Structure 1
Amino acid sequence: MPRRSKPTPFASTTHRREIASLAARMMAEDGIDDYGYAKRKAARALGFGEGDLLPGNDEVEAELRAYQAIYQDEEHPRRLRELRGIALDVMGFLADFNPHLTGAVLDGTAGRYAIVDLDLFADSAKDVEIMLLSRNIPYDISEKRLQDGQEAKLRIEWDGTPVSLAIYPPLAERQVRRNPHSGHQHNRAKAGAVKALLAEPAIPAAPVPF
């Protein structure tokens, strides 16, 4: 699709909204968890460039929450609860490594095919690998570039759901970081906080600070 001519300020606002809306739908339906990738893909699909038209992550998140509330009003809360339950199970299994839930499963925007993101804190990433091997749990080592402070990133499956294990040294727990996908502060929740979320009668519409 050919690129469109440079928009007026009014059209630019409309285009940003269109991109944000489509990016949100892609995240909800296709399991995309990277805001930047979703925005660029949506812009290309709509025939726009990738310059100033791209909406902010907050705009996409607002559209994502709206989409889930309207089109996935029954499916999304049920699936989110399932994912948080899986997260809690894995956190119990990996309790020796001080696991914390992060990402979309924590903040409530997890899509249909979301990955459960856990941060682990260990003296050595090998300690985590040895435990997985001792329990006959297959895992893959991520080939992607590691984020600041990460020692390794592993991926396992738990009840058919992919779980990402980002491994940090123990002191990294005190550091405040940014989520590389959303740009927001990287919130974490311990097992007790996840249990509290599961005990609530309804899924909160906004992230809960921990």
Structure 2
Amino acid sequence: MARGEHHRIHAHDRLQRNRLRIAQEAARLMSEHGIRDFHHAKIKASERLGIADAQSLPRNNEIEQALREHQRIFHADSQPQRVRQCREAAIEAMRFLAAYEPRLVGAVLEGTADAHSAVCLHVFSDDPDELLRFLHEHGVPFEAQTRRLRLSPVESADYPVLVFSADGLPFDLTVLPVDALRQPPLDRVDERPMRRASLAAVEELLHDGDGASDLERKLAALR
């Protein structure tokens, strides 16, 4: 083997090892310290490991895979129960918010929820103030925020977010216009249309239990 080819292979192997190390450290930070932003987690992980090469930064889906592995190894007893608890709470909230066509999104749907995760729902109304009035009328105290979502590779928009707690769990409602039911925003992990599940789908998911059920595989392919 030529010397140049040997160096090229060695450099490639080192790059792949560094990507894996950063992904694993980012997953640990997300699981143990509640970091929710993939980019922040990977930058912090690279700094902690002393790896400055930008090419070594893993993709978001690599970090998500490492997060699943971290949870499987270190939280196998508690994490599935947490996911189930959050899905049960999501069902109750979706029934309560039925008039707003709620959809479950994020870590609770994907099965990666932990003690730091909120139950994240998309709700739909062309008048966001209507939902605020609904929560007020039912005595639900909330904090109003905004969130920027990517609608396409070149388009983003800000949407209202309502944050509250119920039965010891945090909830996060993103209020989208009704026509957004047809076109989900892009997922932060893979930049494809975000996976979302209706009440019926979440009920079926909970009924089937956790793990690699047929519905889990369907949800993995759902867009």
Structure-2 separation of matches of 1:79 and 1:50: 36
Deviation at 1:146, TM superposition (A): 5.7
Indicate conservation of the 8 Å contact 1:68/1:76, yes or no.
Answer: yes
Matched, 1:188 2:191: no
Structure 2 Cα separation of the partners of residues 77 and 178 of structure 1: 26
Q: CA 1:84/1:50 → structure 2, altered by over 3 Å: closer, same or farther?
A: farther
1:105, 1:32 → 2: CA distance? 16
Aligned residues: 204
Task: Quote the residue 2:160 is aligned against.
Answer: 152
Question: Which one of the candidate residues 17, 20, 26 is aligned to 1:23?
Answer: 26
Distance 1:167 1:143 in 2: 9
Contact between 2:146 and 2:158, CA under 8 Å: does it hold in 1? no
Q: Are the structure 2 counterparts of residues 89 and 121 from structure 1 closer, same or farther at C-alpha, using a change threshold of 3 Å?
A: same
Amino acid at match of 1:199: H
CA distance in 2, matches of 1:38, 1:184: 21
Alignment gaps of 5+ in structure 2: 1-9, 151-155
Counterpart contact for 1:149–1:172, Cα < 8 Å: no
- TM-score when scaled to structure 1? 0.88
Please state which structure has a larger fraction of its residues in strand.
2
Larger radius of gyration: 2
- Matched residue, 2:139: 136
Are 2:126 and 1:123 equivalent residues in the alignment?
yes
Amino acid paired to 1:192: A
Displacement of 1:28:
1.9
Q: State the shift of 1:29 in Å.
A: 2.0
Whether 1:98 aligns to 2:119 is no
1:83 aligns with 2:86: yes
Q: What residue is the counterpart of 1:68 in the other structure?
A: 71
Contact 2:42–2:57 (CA under 8 A) maintained in structure 1: yes
The one-letter code of the counterpart of 1:198 is L
Higher helix share: 2
- 1:187/1:146 CA distance change after superposition, 3 Å: closer
CA shift, 1:143, in A, is 4.6
What amino acid sits opposite 1:29 in the alignment? E
Q: Read off the aligned partner of 2:27 and give its amino acid letter.
A: A
Give the letter for the 2:187 counterpart. Answer: N
Q: Distance in 1 between matches of 2:111 and 2:30?
A: 13
Gaps of 5+ in 1: 1-6
Q: Deviations over 1:126-183 (max 9, x none)?
A: 0110011111111111155465455411111121211111111111110143123553
> Which digits, 9 at most, give the CA deviation of each residue in 1:85-130, with x for residues without a partner?
1111111111110000001110111122111110001121101100
Q: 1:143 to 1:175 in 2, by over 3 A?
A: closer
Give the alignment's Cα RMSD to 1 decimal: 2.1
